Amino acid sequence: MACSILHVDLDAFFVSVEQALEPALRDKPVVVGGNPQGRGVVASASYEARAYGLCAGMPLATAYRLCPQAIFLQGNFSRYQEASERFIDILARFTPFIEVSGIDEAYLDITGFDALHGSARQLACNLKQAVSRELGITASVGIATSKVVAKVASDLCKPDGLMEVAPGEEAVFLAPLPVAKLPGVGPKTEQRLKGIGIHSIGQLANLSASFVRYVLGRGGGWLHSCARGVDPRKIELPAAAKSISRATTFARDTLSSSFLKANLCYLSQRVGAELRQQRKAARCITLKLRYADFQTITRSRTLKEAVDIDQVIFQTGCELLEKAVEHRGKLVRLIGIGVSRLVAAGRQLSFEDESATRLEQLNHAIDGLRQKYGFTCIQTGQTLLLQDFLPVAEGHYVLATPALSR
Ligand code: TTP
Ligand code: MG
């Protein structure tokens, strides 16, 4: 069966994040990169700005000359990081086979998913809708039998596009396009190919592989294969997690310490459950807070012994939280808890300590019940507070930003 690969790339990503947060910027020429009097370059330009010839990598002074009425923004990387995390969370609802290839792009392998989601095109439409509804940003999607063809397709249909290349049509689809459209062909390679009269991908495909290698060096063989639409690379899944974390962005920024702790408690239980399922224990616990102004802080503590008990993760998280928010009146936008320095669970606990043993038994008993009846079947007084704020689906609280694990 032919593979079905999607390449998803957000449109004018940095600019779109700014436009989603500030409606007055929408439908206008906007540039993220900095002050046009400065020495920086354009990082991202809205499609309205691109109509004036602006593009990524262009000196800001040139951009200003071409389009003085453009709105130039400094940018804020934490905002883009958060939007990127939320984007990947949305993709993860469609398939676990995801390769994140950049801050705003990913490949998805949906081979054999028809029974679950309908056609690849249908899945792509649903995905585009979810991204647009939840992030306020449009995405472009290419569908093909390989990564390289899917990427060329998503690039070609921007913005807000969807393009499918049917199996067997890859070489015909690529043939008329300029060689620069092929990923991996930069300005130098393009010039070298032009020097020997090769302008289109089809012309490149018609040369012999050995000649292309002779002209372009070792990478030539790979480009020649891509030009023919042949790319056997599989989706690269991330290596086994070195840490486990769960985070949520609140529907409304908050100062309430009881609400923060209720969320922290729930997230700690989710992290603990995942740790025990992986039969691991952790030496380091990290609290993450993002304030309303997107300033993000992390606070970590290394423990004497590796733990896998919810109560220890939560208690440590609370202590870190109390220290972090001490004397600060800043509204909190996101809270997260993570564990790292993972070791195989087993002998690390001090078994002489009766209360630790009891807690461990309790956690395992609760895990068993939750596997059967859902996470919310047993709750502590602390997490019950969340009932007033969060919907429950399939026995879990539905967080604004679904759980992340890395
Ligand atoms: P791209 O996906 O290449 O660009 P884009 O999302 O702005 O526009 P589009 O995909 O619609 O063509 O890159 C994603 C982000 O990465 C971009 O918004 C800003 C950042 N970036 C830079 O900071 N410098 C660069 O030179 C490029 C190309 C991107
Ligand atoms: Mg993009």
Over residues 237-261, the mean pLDDT reads 89
Is 105 known to be catalytic? yes
State what percent of residues in the chain have pLDDT above 90. 71
What's the CA-to-centroid distance between 198 and ligand 2, angstroms? Answer: 28
Atom of ligand 1 nearest to the CA of 158: 11
What's the CA-to-centroid distance between 151 and ligand 2, angstroms? Answer: 11
Average of per-residue pLDDT values in the chain: 90
* Whether the CB of 18 sits within 6 Å of ligand 1: no
Residue 331: φ, ψ to 5°: -65, 140
Residues 6+ apart with CB under 8 A from 331: 253, 254, 255, 291, 292
| Catalytic annotation, pick one of 99, 105, 170, 274 | 105
Task: Please tell me which residue, 317 or 383, carries the higher pLDDT value.
Answer: 317
What's the CA-to-centroid distance between 12 and ligand 2, angstroms? Answer: 5
Nearest CA to ligand 1 atom 29: 43
| The pLDDT of residue 240 | 73
Contact assessment for residue 248 and residue 89, using Cβ atoms and an 8 Å cutoff: no
* Closest to 266 measured CA to CA, from 370, 355, 358, 342: 370
Q: Global pTM? A: 0.74
Torsion sign (Cα): 324, 326, 330, 333: positive
Contact assessment for residue 124 and residue 262, using Cβ atoms and an 8 Å cutoff: no
| The pLDDT of residue 131 | 98
Poorest-pLDDT segment among 136-140, 290-294, 383-387:
383-387
* Whether the CB of 139 sits within 6 Å of ligand 1: no
pLDDT(367) > 90? no
Residues 6+ apart with CB under 8 A from 172: none
* Whether the CB of 170 sits within 6 Å of ligand 1: no
Residues 6+ apart with CB under 8 A from 360: 308, 309, 349
Give the pLDDT confidence of 172-223 residue by residue, as tens digits.
999 999 999 999 999 999 999 999 999 999 999 999 999 999 999 988 999 9
| The pLDDT of residue 401 | 54
Give the pLDDT confidence of 135-175 residue by residue, as tens digits.
999 999 999 999 999 999 999 999 999 999 999 999 999 99
Q: How many Cβ atoms are within 10 Å of 139's Cβ, its own excluded?
A: 30
Contact assessment for residue 227 and residue 174, using Cβ atoms and an 8 Å cutoff: yes
Long-range pairs, 98-102, Cβ under 8 A, ≥24: 98/235, 98/237, 99/235, 99/236, 99/237, 100/238, 102/9
CA–CA separation, 23 vs 166, rounded Å?
38
Residue 334: φ, ψ to 5°: -140, 145
| Residues facing 19 on adjacent strands | none
What's the CA-to-centroid distance between 14 and ligand 2, angstroms? Answer: 8
